[in-house]
Amino acid sequence: MPLDAKLDPATHHFRLVGTRPLRPDGVDKVTGRARFGADASAPGMLVARILRSPHAHARIRAIDTTKAARLPGVKAIVTSADFQPGDPAIHDVLCNVMARDKALYDGHAVAAVAAVSAAIARKALKLIKVDYEVLPHVTDVDEAMKPGAPLLHHGMKTENVEPAPKKASNVASRCEFGHGDPEVGFKQADVVVERRFKTEATHQGYIEPHACLASVGSDGQGELWVCTQGHYMVRNTCAALIGMDVSKLRVTASEIGGGFGGKTTVFIEPVALALSRKAGKPVKLVMSREEVFRASGPTSSSSIDVKIGVTRAGRITGALADIRMQGGAFAGSPVELGAMSAFACYDLEHVKAVGWDVVTNRPKQAAYRAPGAPMVAFAVESVLDELAHKIGMDPVELRLKNAAKEGTQSSYGPKYKRIGLGECLEAARQHPHYKAPLGKNQGRGIAAGFWFNFGGQTCVSLNVNIDGTVVLAVGTPDIGGSRASMCMIAAEELGIEYDKVRAIVADTSSLGYNDISEGSRVTFSTGLATIAAARDAIGKLTARAAKTWGISPDAVVWENGHARPSSPNAGDFAPLSLAEIAKTAGSTGGPIAGHYEVNAGGAGVSFAVHMADAEVDPETGRVHITRYTVVQDAGKAVHPSYVEGQFQGGAAQGIGWAINEEYFYGQDGRLQNPGFLDYRIPVASDLPMIDTVIVEVPNPGHPYGVRGVGETSIVPPLAAIANAVSAAAGVRLTELPMSPPRVLAAIDGAVAKKKPRS
Amino acid sequence: MMSMIRVSTKINGDAVAFLCETDETLLDVLRDRLGLTGSKEGCGTGDCGACSVTLDGRVVCSCLVLGAEAEGRAIGTVEGIASGDTLHPLQAKFLEFAALQCGVCTPGFLVAAKALLERNPDPTESEIRFGLAGNLCRCTGYDKIVRAVQAAAVEMRKG
Amino acid sequence: MVQVKLSGPLKLAAGGKGELEIEAANIRQLLDRLCADHPKLKPMFDRGVAVAIDGQIYRDDWFRPIPAGSEVVVLPRMSGG
């Protein structure tokens, strides 16, 4: 069957897709057998440690490593001198991996040591003398934009501004999306609300710190074991940064203990490889938790102005957003994605979102699950909530009246194909949560959210074994349980039992290039490639049966895991099972395999609606989430348990972001809370059960209708909770996180405003 | 180099002897000297619970225990929870309920949940949530973990 | 002929023109011709763009055909987390 043959997911009966079998890598993970980034070791292995700047901003005048090099047990030391600039596209990555002329944030890597033990490596770091010239620093996004702010890059002149600026600044670029003219729209409105919102930087918070084991031989060939979302990206980037042929570096993706976007780039891997090459020994390099917070890639902090106007009948007539995000010390905050997704849920005639990408003395940001979208949704959905109250309209009703649907021109450009926002809103409205009674000091909030979802370069190889079992080699690290889904898909297509298929994540030398596991792309792209590879294998299996029977391959069909003649005219032959054909493969032509290589397009956007109930303690300002429901369009849920898991996980991260998590920078520009004690992510006692509703509006671009699910679930929570807290506290909260001091300040401020002047 | 000390202990029921530095943590001993990499280092400061083991039956963060403290004690790690090729009900229920996504926090949760259910065979949802509040999970939002523990408790009470 | 919309900063680099008409049968031809007409687009295209054809987003897909009459939008290159 061709790949674009449309199954009607509404009527097609799937045998396995949509069921909940046990994951194939499960037993390893519950017995401690599964090997993660830090679980590998090699004979003669050295341990590496990185020396990091204690200053938020400083010129590096000199680095003296002589004393450290003389310490017995030290086998190699590297600094920026060991990394040569090359490809301008990854120059920022190079500078972030190892500081060159300036340390740009507290924690910026300055040098690294490989030694026979961790103790000696730590001692060696202390012997490295760095001559810093401390410079003024800036960590707040709005402060960094002001004239006279400490300047990070002397060559940075804001792009996409006319006329082009003559002076350097901390503003890397501007972007603008939308159509129509919001000022025209506001004139048509009966009610207009304009608000400023601020969010602080948060971290993806994966429990497994970055870790790798590098081994480079004197022939320049290397192996790298690493926890990553994209081992091919790691291979290509490291090879470029340390000057190695791509084919000479073999990267194996370990099991990964969480990524959420934070492991879609390199931090320590080029350093480990460079040290290993110098020392001629394997080098293990693991980040401490403190290093993860200080020097991996948190998300951006933001400052956002939103103005929306509606008619009393509930129609949005104009929408405007000005979004400022700082992405750390290098250009590349997700402000473009934020500006593009800001109003993506709505059908608007007059809409404009402007974004500013700002640099500050903070670590270089990395992607965090729907990068840029949660902060902007917080702002937009909060204003919509206020407008709904002002015109006395139910908040779901207001959104339904303006919801984007098939054919709507999105605020970021293209017209939507078939989408499921309306279905999600209706499902939310029908859900028992929506009408459940609320207690004292409790409030309910809802919010909608959107994410693009992507395809990308993908290939798989499907090999049929002599006993009729199948091994599927994929190239996308399993960050959410995707191996289970891939086995289900392959078994579905081939017509065999689920446990006859095993999926492995191949290393970079064993399978062709695969893009990173990001953008909610794996079930869509690797799934699509698996379907195609299975169909490719079926073509070969039927051809073998045809040969065996001496008939034309056109006269053979594949059904229920068997090849059979397409009609009685073709011949009277008993069907041959996959196992039977596999058994004689050696004699009928050799190994049987299917494969598929593609740059997958056709990913479908997805929408979600979240409902949150919050209780606010008016004396302490503490927020407690008492009930939470996620409604999200998955297109087609291959393994519903893991789809639910994505919904719940994204919601939990959003809850933490909304009420507890933030990066605290001191006056000295140093991160004050680089640990799980003071960077407080939700624990089991903080959360209620998280109810989920999987809506399935098929994506026309996928054979089964699959849409990405991993990221959309983090987009609505910030606003849903802010709306719930604002309702409970009786005052609008506009700054995240809504930690007790902020909530109390807002409550006290509102009380003070209400007090009559004596 | 600090002088090494010799430690004799029991791990998952087996007698084990090792040499370690005086300032080495039990977690480092388990992972780097004994090859028991099931216990994970998530933070090194006792905040995440990924390194949870039992020490004479009590759940501790092995990153906060010195290797030397294992002398004469009994240690239980995730590697000892199954019996031969039979999974413990908790392990089976974690799989059945999809209570793990990336799985890195799972060893710590299994150790902590096993100790919880041994202490309190019929916990309420709240008791489970507070009993496991020392274990961080970033993937699941805890919903399916709690349901798995509840189901395992039912199974274990059946005997 | 294809009607092309340029989104965001790409629009500015094309002199503020948001909608253009270009002769192109696939994405590569489209981008080449846009660059020839508006050289300021080149650095952006080198960094990467995405092209949406009838609402489906394609990244780095030169020979993806552009059917006659389809809606084409050129966007900054996007990636997720």
Confidence of residue C57 (pLDDT cuts 50, 70, 90): confident
Q: Which neighbouring-strand residues pair with B58?
A: B55
Yes or no, beta carbons of A454 and C57 under 8 Å apart: yes
Q: What 8-state DSSP symbol labels residue A524?
A: I
Q: Could you tell me which residues come within 8 angstroms of residue A645 by beta carbon, excluding any fewer than 6 positions away?
A: A480, A481, B98, B101, B139, B140, B144
pLDDT number for residue C80: 83
Q: Give me A460's structure tokens.
A: 């798989």
Domain boundary among A555, A577, A600: A600
Q: Which neighbouring-strand residues pair with B15?
A: B10
Structural domain count, chain B: 2
B–A contact: 3+ Cβ pairs < 8 A:
yes
Q: Give me C29's structure tokens.
A: 């031809």
* CATH number for B68: 3.10.20.30
The reply to whether B101 and B145 lie within a common domain is yes
Q: Could you tell me which residues come within 8 angstroms of residue A122 by beta carbon, excluding any fewer than 6 positions away?
A: A49
The reply to whether A276 and A379 lie within a common domain is yes
pLDDT number for residue B10: 98
Domain boundary among A584, A600, A616: A600
Q: Is the pLDDT of residue A4 over 60?
A: yes
**Span A468-494, mean pLDDT?**
96
| pLDDT per position as a tens digit, A575-621 | 999 999 999 999 999 999 999 999 998 899 999 999 999 999 999 99
The reply to whether B8 and B75 lie within a common domain is yes
The reply to whether B8 and B76 lie within a common domain is yes
Least confident of A148-162, A199-213, A354-368, C46-60: C46-60
The reply to whether B72 and B96 lie within a common domain is no
Q: Is the pLDDT of residue A218 over 80?
A: yes
Least confident of A375-389, A465-479, C62-76: C62-76
The reply to whether B73 and B93 lie within a common domain is no
Q: Is the pLDDT of residue A11 over 80?
A: no
* CATH number for A518: 3.30.365.10
Structural domain count, chain A: 2
Residues of chain B with pLDDT under 70: 1-2
What is the span of the domain harbouring residue A534?
26-34+455-600
pLDDT number for residue A5: 67
Q: Could you tell me which residues come within 8 angstroms of residue A386 by beta carbon, excluding any fewer than 6 positions away?
A: A193, A195, A732
Q: Give me A350's structure tokens.
A: 């007059």
CA distance A733 to A725: 7
A521 CB within 8 Å of a chain C CB:
yes
Residue-wise DSSP of A388-415:
HHHTT--HHHHHHHHB--TTPBPTTSSB
- Amino acid at position A351, single letter: V
Q: Is the pLDDT of residue A485 over 90?
A: yes
Q: Give me C67's structure tokens.
A: 């059917």
φ/ψ bin of A462: left (φ > 0), alpha (ψ from -120 to 50), beta (otherwise): beta
The reply to whether B106 and B75 lie within a common domain is no
Q: Could you tell me which residues come within 8 angstroms of residue A273 by beta carbon, excluding any fewer than 6 positions away?
A: A214, A216, A222, A224, A238, A242, A244, A249, A283
**Span A711-717, mean pLDDT?**
97
pLDDT number for residue A570: 86
B146 CB within 8 Å of a chain A CB:
yes
CB-CB contact of A604 with A635 (8 Å): yes
Q: Is the pLDDT of residue A694 over 70?
A: yes
The reply to whether B13 and B74 lie within a common domain is yes
Confidence of residue A757 (pLDDT cuts 50, 70, 90): low
* CATH number for C34: 3.10.20.30
The reply to whether B74 and B99 lie within a common domain is no
The reply to whether A262 and A199 lie within a common domain is yes
The reply to whether A262 and A407 lie within a common domain is yes
Residue C81 lies in a domain: no
pLDDT number for residue B1: 52
Percent over 90 (pLDDT), chain A: 95
**Residue the block writes with tokens 């062709």:** A512
Q: Is the pLDDT of residue A653 over 70?
A: yes
| pLDDT per position as a tens digit, B49-73 | 999 999 999 999 999 999 999 999 9
- Of residues A756 and A543, more confidence is placed in A543
Structural domain count, chain C: 1
**Span A529-554, mean pLDDT?**
96
pLDDT number for residue B81: 98
The reply to whether A383 and A476 lie within a common domain is no
CA distance A287 to A305: 37
Closest CA to C32 of C42, C20, C17: C42
The reply to whether A402 and A473 lie within a common domain is no
Neighbours of chain C (3+ CB pairs under 8 A): A
Q: Give me A540's structure tokens.
A: 């070969």
Which of B79, B128, B143 should we substitute to test contact with A (largest number of A Cβ atoms within 10 Å)? B143
C73 CB within 8 Å of a chain A CB:
yes
Q: What is the CA radius of gyration of chain C?
A: 11
pLDDT number for residue C12: 85
State phi, psi for A330 to the nearest 5 degrees.
Answer: -130, 155
Residue A390 lies in a domain: yes
What is the span of the domain harbouring residue C18?
2-76
C40 CB within 8 Å of a chain A CB:
no
CB-CB contact of B102 with A255 (8 Å): yes
Reported ipTM: 0.98
Domain boundary among B80, B110, B143: B80
Domain boundary among A568, A600, A632: A600
Q: In A, which residues are within 8 Å of C81 by CB distance?
A: 204, 260-262, 264, 366-371, 518-519, 711
The reply to whether A398 and A463 lie within a common domain is no
* CATH number for B146: 1.10.150.120
CB-CB contact of A249 with A224 (8 Å): yes
pTM of the model: 0.96
The reply to whether A406 and A530 lie within a common domain is no
Domain boundary among B45, B62, B80: B80
Domain boundary among B33, B55, B80: B80
Residue A505 lies in a domain: yes
pLDDT number for residue A682: 98
3-state DSSP call for residue A80? helix
**Span A516-524, mean pLDDT?**
93
Which of A87, A91, A92, A176 should we substitute to test contact with C (largest number of C Cβ atoms within 10 Å)? A176
Confidence of residue C56 (pLDDT cuts 50, 70, 90): confident
**Residue the block writes with tokens 């996504």:** B101
Q: Give me A595's structure tokens.
A: 């494969």
Question: What mean pLDDT value characterizes chain A?
Answer: 96
CA distance B68 to A607: 54
CA distance A519 to A21: 25
Which of A19, A25, A27, A30 should we substitute to test contact with B (largest number of B Cβ atoms within 10 Å)? A30
Q: In A, which residues are within 8 Å of B105 by CB distance?
A: 207, 257
Residue-wise DSSP of chain B:
-PPEEEEEEEETTEEEEEEEETT-BHHHIIIIIS--TTS--S-SSSSS-TTEEEETTEEEEGGGSBGGGGTT-EEE-GGGSSBTTB--HHHHHHHHTT--SS-SSHHHHHHHHHHHHHH-SS--HHHHHHHTTTS--SSSTTHHHHHHHHHHHHHHHH-
Q: Give me A400's structure tokens.
A: 């339904």
C57 CB within 8 Å of a chain A CB:
yes
State phi, psi for C10 to the nearest 5 degrees.
Answer: -65, -35
Q: How many CA atoms lie within 13 A of A407 on its CB side?
A: 0
| pLDDT per position as a tens digit, A393-406 | 999 999 999 999 99
What is the span of the domain harbouring residue B119?
89-158
A257 CB within 8 Å of a chain B CB:
yes
Burial of A219 (0-12, 13-18, 19+ CB in 10 A): exposed
| pLDDT per position as a tens digit, A34-54 | 999 999 999 999 999 999 999
Q: In C, which residues are within 8 Å of A264 by CB distance?
A: 79, 81
Residue A144 lies in a domain: yes
Percent over 70 (pLDDT), chain A: 98
Confidence of residue A67 (pLDDT cuts 50, 70, 90): very high
